[in-house]
Amino acid sequence: MQDRFPAQERFSDGAQYIAGRLTKGTSGAVHTVIDPATGEEVLTYELAGADDVDAAVAAARAAFPGWSAATPGERSDAMHRFAAVLADRAEDLARAESLQCGKPLKLTREFDVPGTIDNTSFFAGAARHLAGQSAGEYSGDHTSYVRREPIGVVGSIAPWNYPLQMAAWKILPAIAAGNTIVLKPAELTPLTSLLFARAATEAGIPDGVVNIVTGTGRTAGEHLVGHPGVAMTSFTGSTAVGKRVAEVATATVKRLHLELGGKAPLLVFDDADLEAAANGAVAGALINTGQDCTAATRAYVQRPLYEAFVERTAALMGTVRVGDPFAPGTDLGPLVSHQQRDRVAAFVDRARGYARVVTGGEAPSGELKSGAYYLPTLIADAAQDSEVVQSEIFGPVLVVLPFDGDDEGIALANDTPYGLAASAWTRDVFRANRATREIQAGCVWINDHIPIISEMPHGGYKASGFGKDMSAYSFEEYTQVKHVMFDNTAVARKPWHRTVFGDS
Ligand code: NAD
């Protein structure tokens, strides 16, 4: 399957990217990347150990003085060139991402890759707009101002669901603000983070500014989070691992940014456009085969529309073409791994005991049998406190529940530990406005579900974490502010010295 993307050939020098070049990991262990569409081997690479993390942190520390002292204009120019190199490599990036994740080429070509190029252009521009508050004579005798400074070396950890976009979301704001970075992608999906880092070097971003270590969470990840040479940890992944990362980072007093799991509700009021809501629910639930932290996972539908919504949603799911990610005409690819598919299937199998599986609920047969495929699945009549309503399944599974009054709908939408994203569907402006106020989530869409843009922040409430990716808000995470105060009096004995030198 080398024609899909020649990973073995591209990464024959290794799958670590340290100080501007590919090297082999020295942990002594290897990992094999599997194509989830076929079960075939894509790349066997040497995993990073502690020594590789140390080398990457050393490279990032060495690059920090030069990169942080570059003018915003110089950083911006380099990042504009970076966006141009990425645009040149767009097809390579799309194929590598489709291969390692099982994403249809349609998705990587139209979403992951253009989104990443747009993020890069956005942060190239934003690098020149790092503003502080105004300076002033607040004490009367001094001039004060605020400097916004980079933090140092950022250690980032990313998940496997959007490897390229997660690398971009972590790396771009960090380097635009003058930091240097060591990113650890998920060991399942290292290819596009490595291609991304190489493109940075080709664009003239100095060696050591962007480093990638590909290793396991326990070995490379935890060593990076606890590393004394790292000033900040930025983590995207599950809430369970995020808690562990927070413990390790806190023990070494690091700045912490956590983007964790989600269980996004889709709230359909009885005045909604049913066809729009059903289409939105299916697209929002199935994007990236449901492996999306903001995916629509719980549809709450007001009683008068409930049965019709279940019927229409099930019918729409039946039109989605499951197939090989590289084949034209495929809408939905496999899950990222057979293990993830089995995890999703186990959730659905357990749900049969307490809810109704309306459609799907099985792996496709025939020629797709060897891949990690699972059919689009709709579950109805589950209780609010049941596992499929409360836990992140991370697969192509939508649960539909009815509600009566508006108060109840909003309360149910808020009734999970998570708070990453939500949508409300209504033609009533007051209902829409109330939903945006009362739903506890970092993003609320009205009459749509999923779109993201570089200019707007992404991040969670509650157990979905804290801090923002993308947009100018991300600079709050990746910079620190310093108060600078100048004496304007030039006198030796200042008025406030009276508190120390007697009463006169
Ligand atoms: P995960 O938490 O299992 O792993 C995420 C990363 O953490 C991987 O790189 C892994 O190797 C690493 N890791 C594991 N144990 C570690 C440890 N002890 N110390 C340091 N690093 C460790 O998540 P996943 O299964 O790769 O991804 C799916 C999860 O990510 C879902 O919960 C999803 O909601 C979440 N996610 C959240 C967002 C967001 O923006 N909030 C975006 C994408 C994915």
The structure tokens listed for 15 are 């799958």
Environment class of 301 (CB within 10 Å of its CB; exposed 0-12, middle 13-18, buried 19+):
buried
Q: How far is the CA of 159 from the centre of ligand 1 (A)?
A: 4
Do 255 and 231 touch, CB atoms closer than 8 A?
A: yes
366 and 475 share one domain: no
The structure tokens listed for 92 are 């390579």
298 and 222 share one domain: no
Q: Tell me 456's DSSP state.
A: S
241 and 287 share one domain: no
Give the range of the structural domain holding residue 192, as residue numbers without chain letter: 17-260+464-483
- Nearest ligand 1 atom to the CA of 248 is 19
CB atoms within 10 A of CB 133: 11
148 and 60 share one domain: yes
65 and 161 share one domain: yes
Q: How far is the CA of 403 from the centre of ligand 1 (A)?
A: 33
| pLDDT at position 461 | 98
24 within a domain of the structure (yes/no): yes
The structure tokens listed for 123 are 């942060």
Q: What single-letter amino acid sits at 275?
A: E
Task: Answer yes or no: 259 catalytic.
Answer: yes
5 within a domain of the structure (yes/no): no
pLDDT of the chain along its 504 residues, tens only? 447 999 999 999 999 999 999 999 999 999 999 999 999 999 999 999 999 999 999 999 999 999 999 999 999 999 999 999 999 999 999 999 999 999 999 999 999 999 999 999 999 999 999 877 789 999 999 999 999 999 999 999 999 999 999 999 999 999 999 999 999 999 999 999 999 999 999 999 999 999 999 999 999 999 999 999 999 999 999 999 999 999 999 999 999 999 999 999 999 999 999 999 999 999 999 999 999 999 999 999 999 999 999 999 999 999 999 999 999 999 999 999 999 999 999 999 999 999 999 999 999 999 999 999 999 999 999 999 999 999 999 999 999 999 999 999 999 999 999 999 999 999 999 999 999 999 999 999 999 999 999 999 999 999 999 999 999 999 999 999 999 999 999 999 999 999 999 886
| pLDDT at position 3 | 77
163 and 308 share one domain: no
217 and 282 share one domain: no
Do 347 and 388 touch, CB atoms closer than 8 A?
A: yes
- Domain CATH number, residue 472: 3.40.605.10
| pLDDT at position 479 | 97
d(CA 231, CA 249) in angstroms, rounded, equals 9
CB atoms within 10 A of CB 244: 17
Mutating to test ligand 1, I would choose from 170, 236, 294, 343 the residue with most ligand atoms within 8 A of its C-beta, which is 236
| pLDDT at position 1 | 46
70 and 191 share one domain: yes
| pLDDT at position 7 | 97
Mutating to test ligand 1, I would choose from 157, 166, 288, 343 the residue with most ligand atoms within 8 A of its C-beta, which is 157
d(CA 147, CA 421) in angstroms, rounded, equals 33
289 and 219 share one domain: no
The CA R_g of the chain, rounded to the nearest whole Å, is: 25
**Domain count across the chain:** 2
394 within a domain of the structure (yes/no): yes
- Domain CATH number, residue 405: 3.40.309.10
Ligand 1 environment, Cβ below 6 A? 157-161, 184, 186-187, 216-218, 221-222, 225, 236-238, 241, 244-245, 259-262, 293, 392, 394, 420, 460, 464-465
- pTM equals 0.96
d(CA 213, CA 399) in angstroms, rounded, equals 37
- Nearest ligand 1 atom to the CA of 260 is 41
Task: Answer yes or no: 293 catalytic.
Answer: yes
141 within a domain of the structure (yes/no): yes
269 and 256 share one domain: no
d(CA 456, CA 478) in angstroms, rounded, equals 16
What are the φ and ψ backbone dihedral angles of 44, each rounded to 5 degrees?
Answer: -110, 125
